[in-house]
Amino acid sequence: MKLLVRLFLSHALVVVLTVAALLVLAEVLAPTLIQHHVQEMERLIGPVGRSLRDDLSRGMRTTLTSALLIASGIAMCVAFLAAYVAARRVVRAVQSLSEGSLAIAEGDYRRRLPEDGQDELTALARNFNRMARSLADVEASRVELITNVAHELRTPLTALQGYAEALQDGVMPPAHASAAVLRETRAMERLTDDLALVSRVEAGTVDLRSCTVPVPDLLLGALDRFGPLASERHLALHVRPAPHGLAVHADPERVAQVLANLIGNALKYTPPGGTVTVTAAPVPGGVAFRVQDTGPGVMPEDQRRVFERFYRTDRSRSRPAGGGGSGVGLTIARGLARAMRGDVTVTSFPPDGSTFTLTLPADADATPPAIT
């Protein structure tokens, strides 16, 4: 039996039972009420004969029963019509939801349900549409991820094919070809490692070993690591000393990895003669590491997307001088920071450079310096 029929019959049964109960109750109570009314009439107009009293009682009961039957018939017709309309509306909503879910299952993530009204059915349609939009976003991200991975792998694979053909044709010395092949395979290995780390970060399965990490040690390590690279690119790298006693509670290797990503990006996109400044200072509840550069900056419409996988603000500069990254560095940086109960944000006012801020929780056992 179809849902429409079942709903209509359920409403009809309620109507029939209600009318039947009304008729039975009226027939049970009517004699007493009529007798009381006849007695009131006798009190007002005087005694009447038994035959007249019985005739009045029969007439009033017949009139009452007839009126109830006619009114019940009309009421049942109206109730049946209302039940059909209500049942049909529910069935239409269910059918629309069924058709929409089937379309989603077949891959049509553009299907939406009408949201006319303020009742629970409208709320259900609204939630369905929200789910459809989320699935559409996930599908778009999946397609974009596959496209970007294919794009990132195409460059080293094309290079490997060229080196193999050159080696086969004898136009490249074996030693030079093997070095080039090793370089490209290492680039592919870095990409696969970064993708694996992104997956673990997004799944929340990154292994963290948090402890007390002195902030000055982190800054000195960053200076030692990136000082030579900054000099090679004719950039000024300023790492300002951190306040004494400043420490964070985090995984030291992961913090160093996040800082390396932020500083490396700043050096990569800052033109020669520019400056990259790294600072650390206490903030309410934690420590803020700021990496400020004098590069071209990030446009406002790009700032909310720079942490997406493979997103680049300028596709033409997808592989800047000095080696290109995998395109997931900032995604990893923010994911690791949030796994350590922190975050990474960006502020930028092009063309006056950008500032990436890593915020981490302060270590509870360290003596906190004054917040300036």
Of residues 199, 256, 191, the one with CA closest to residue 222: 256
Q: What share of the chain is helix, strand, coil (3-state, %, to 5)?
A: 65, 10, 25
What is the SS3 assignment for 239?
Answer: strand
Give residue 303's domain range: 211-361
Neighbours of 330 (CB within 10 A): 22
The token duo for 164 is: 């193999």
The token duo for 7 is: 């709903």
Is 151 found in the same domain as 54? no
Is 353 found in the same domain as 218? yes
Please give the radius of gyration of the chain, using alpha carbons only, rounded to the nearest integer. 39
Of residues 139, 141, 143, 135, the one with CA closest to residue 100: 135
CA gap 180, 130 in Å, rounded: 49
CA gap 111, 96 in Å, rounded: 10
Q: Among the three residues 50, 80, 108, which one is the final residue of a domain in this structure?
A: 108
353 or 179, higher pLDDT? 353
| Total tally of structural domains belonging to the chain | 3
Cα-flanking dihedrals φ and ψ of residue 179, to 5°?
-65, -40
| Residue range 23-33: mean pLDDT, rounded | 75
Is 367 within a domain?
A: no
The token duo for 259 is: 């800082």
Q: Among the three residues 181, 203, 225, which one is the final residue of a domain in this structure?
A: 203
Is 102 found in the same domain as 41? yes
CA gap 237, 240 in Å, rounded: 10
pLDDT at 371: 56
Convert the pLDDT of each residue in 265-307 to its tens digit.
999 999 999 999 999 999 998 999 999 999 999 998 888 888 8
CA gap 333, 275 in Å, rounded: 22
Is 229 found in the same domain as 131? no
The token duo for 304 is: 């909310």
Is 47 within a domain?
A: yes
Per DSSP (E only), the strands in 161-267 are 211-214, 236-239, 247-250
pLDDT at 301: 85
Is 303 found in the same domain as 216? yes
pLDDT at 285: 82
Is 264 within a domain?
A: yes
pLDDT at 293: 96
pLDDT at 215: 95
The token duo for 257 is: 């990895």
Q: Among the three residues 176, 203, 230, which one is the final residue of a domain in this structure?
A: 203
264 or 244, higher pLDDT? 264
Percent of the chain with pLDDT strictly greater than 70: 89
Is 369 within a domain?
A: no
Is 245 found in the same domain as 262? yes
Convert the pLDDT of each residue in 311-334 to its tens digit.
766 544 444 433 455 678 898 999
pLDDT at 206: 87
H or E, element range at 26: helix 3-45
- Entry field: residues in the chain: 372
Is 39 within a domain?
A: yes
Model-level pTM?
0.60
pLDDT at 213: 94
The token duo for 215 is: 């902030």
Is 235 found in the same domain as 328? yes
CA gap 94, 91 in Å, rounded: 5
